[in-house]
């Protein structure tokens, strides 16, 4: 197992290098980072050249990539380039943004997997029951809804709920803009109040989409497995239905869901982009949208690399979980 992990980590290094080059091509395709700066006022060629030198755009494509790559590995991730703005350092910005996003995404993802798997299993075991039909219908509808619409509706609902709380004299609970401020200003009760209020809507929002996905997949794979011969054998042996469902069927039915979950990390980051935009969290989503809009090459590159590492790590975790679920899969 340990050797396998080491080998996988080593394999992922060339993947990351290639990915960084691909990302660099993408970032270059975004256009001239100084484009807007050049047009706001007439600039002398000297000023342009000086600014290009500062941001590293005076070099041609390949040396620029080499320069960036060496600095990146050494931990110098560069900074924003648009002159005049408060030049945010890439590493620090991404660090704080990542922490905000990861908390949000992990909470939502964990709850989504648990609820989705449970509902999918019940739906498969009680196929064509009222429960199955209603859950399949809900999952299908949620699956077809744009995430930002759910977010906007939740936000509007949250504000109305707050207004109702105010009208009965209670504190406004739901926060629709930004993560909890943190700090220990009140008691522990106040803190819980604050955190649940801030996390509730964004988590619900991501949950709505993700749980539908997992429920659908879990139901499908569970149905496949329940129709398999070895399940009938287990039933014929006289095992209790609960044991057959949980030990024989459920474990095998989890494998496709693990694949979906690991492949879904990228989509989850995309989802976080939307959720954070609507609820105004200063996470990875807001950072990338702003960076792309302002054509900030180093910020976009750093962002893409951080996400790439995340996705690779989650694929690795998924492969390790396979081996636990299915002993026939040998990792070494």
Partner 1 sequence: MTNPIVADSAEASEAALSSVDLTSSGFDSTQARRQSLVILKRFMRHRAAMVSLAIFVLLFLIAFVGGALWKYSYTYEDTTGGGRYLPPSGQHPFGTDALAADNMAQVLRGTQFSLLIALVVAFLATTLGVVLGAIAGFYRGWVDSLVSRFTDLVLVIPPVVLAGVLSRNAIGGGGSNWYLIAIYLGITSWMSVCRVIRGMVLSLREKEFVEAARALGGSAPRLIFRHILPNTLDVIIVNATIAVSQAVLAEAALSFIGLGVHPPDTSLGLLIEKNQNEISLHPWLFWFPFVFIVLISLSVNFIGDGLRDAFDPRQKRVRA
**Cβ nearer to partner 1, comparing 269 with 281:** 269
**Cβ nearer to partner 1, comparing 6 with 149:** 149
**Least separation in angstroms between CB 305 and partner 1:** 9
**Cβ nearer to partner 1, comparing 21 with 324:** 21
**Least separation in angstroms between CB 17 and partner 1:** 10
Cβ atoms of 173 and 78 within 8 Å: the answer is no
List contacts with partner 1 (CB under 8 A): 15, 18-19, 22-23, 26-27, 29-31, 35, 128, 140-141, 143-149, 152-153, 156, 159-160, 220, 223-224, 227, 263, 266-267, 269-270, 273-274, 277-278, 288-289, 292-293, 295, 300, 303-304, 307-308, 311-312
**Cβ nearer to partner 1, comparing 153 with 192:** 153
Dihedral angle at the C-alpha atoms of 228, 230, 235, 239, nearest 10 degrees? -140
How far apart are the C-alpha atoms of 227 and 102, rounded to whole Å?
Answer: 38
**Least separation in angstroms between CB 228 and partner 1:** 12
**Cβ nearer to partner 1, comparing 218 with 307:** 307
How far apart are the C-alpha atoms of 213 and 306, rounded to whole Å?
Answer: 25
**Cβ nearer to partner 1, comparing 194 with 307:** 307
Q: For tokens 């054998």, what's the residue?
A: 233
**What tokens does 154 get?**
């939740």
- Sort 73 into a burial class: Cβ within 10 Å, 0-12 / 13-18 / 19+: exposed
Distance from first CA to last CA of the chain, Å, rounded?
A: 6
**Least separation in angstroms between CB 269 and partner 1:** 4
What are the DSSP calls for 26-93, one per residue? HHHHT--TTHHHHHHS---HHHHHHHHHHHTTTS-HHHHHHHHHHHHHHT---B--STTS---BHHHH
**Least separation in angstroms between CB 292 and partner 1:** 5
**Least separation in angstroms between CB 220 and partner 1:** 7
Phi-psi sector, 107: left (phi>0), alpha (psi -120 to 50), beta: alpha
């Amino acid at each position: 197992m340990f050797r396998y992990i080491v080998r996988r980590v080593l394999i992922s290094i060339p993947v990351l290098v290639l990915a960084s080059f691909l990302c660099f091509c993408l970032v270059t395709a975004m256009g001239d980072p100084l484009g807007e700066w050049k047009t706001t006022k007439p600039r002398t060629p000297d000023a342009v050249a000086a600014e290009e030198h500062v941001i590293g755009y005076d070099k041609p494509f390949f040396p620029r990539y080499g320069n960036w790559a060496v600095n990146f590995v050494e931990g110098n991730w560069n900074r924003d380039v648009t002159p005049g703005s408060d030049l945010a350092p890439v590493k620090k910005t991404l660090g704080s943004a990542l922490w905000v996003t990861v908390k949000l995404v992990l909470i939502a993802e964990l709850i989504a997997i648990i609820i989705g798997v449970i509902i999918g299993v019940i739906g498969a075991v009680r196929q064509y029951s009222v429960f199955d039909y209603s859950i399949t219908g809900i999952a299908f509808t949620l699956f077809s809804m744009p995430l930002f619409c759910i977010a906007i509706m939740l936000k509007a609902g949250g504000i109305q709920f707050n207004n109702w709380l105010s009208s009965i004299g209670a504190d406004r609970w739901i926060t629709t803009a930004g993560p909890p401020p943190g700090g220990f200003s009140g008691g522990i009760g106040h803190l819980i109040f604050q955190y649940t209020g801030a996390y509730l809507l964004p988590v619900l929002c991501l949950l709505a989409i993700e749980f539908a996905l997992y429920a659908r997949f879990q139901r499908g794979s569970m149905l496949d497995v329940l129709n398999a011969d070895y399940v009938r054998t287990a039933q014929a042996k006289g095992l209790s239905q609960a044991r057959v469902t949980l030990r024989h069927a459920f474990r095998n039915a989890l494998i496709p869901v693990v694949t979906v979950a690991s492949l879904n990390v990228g989509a989850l980051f995309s989802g976080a982009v939307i959720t954070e935009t609507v609820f105004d969290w200063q996470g990875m989503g807001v950072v990338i949208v702003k960076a792309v809009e302002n054509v900030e090459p180093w910020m976009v590159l750093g962002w893409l690399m951080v996400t790439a590492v995340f996705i690779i790590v989650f694929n690795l975790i998924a492969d390790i979980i396979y081996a636990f679920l299915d002993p026939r899969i040998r990792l070494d």
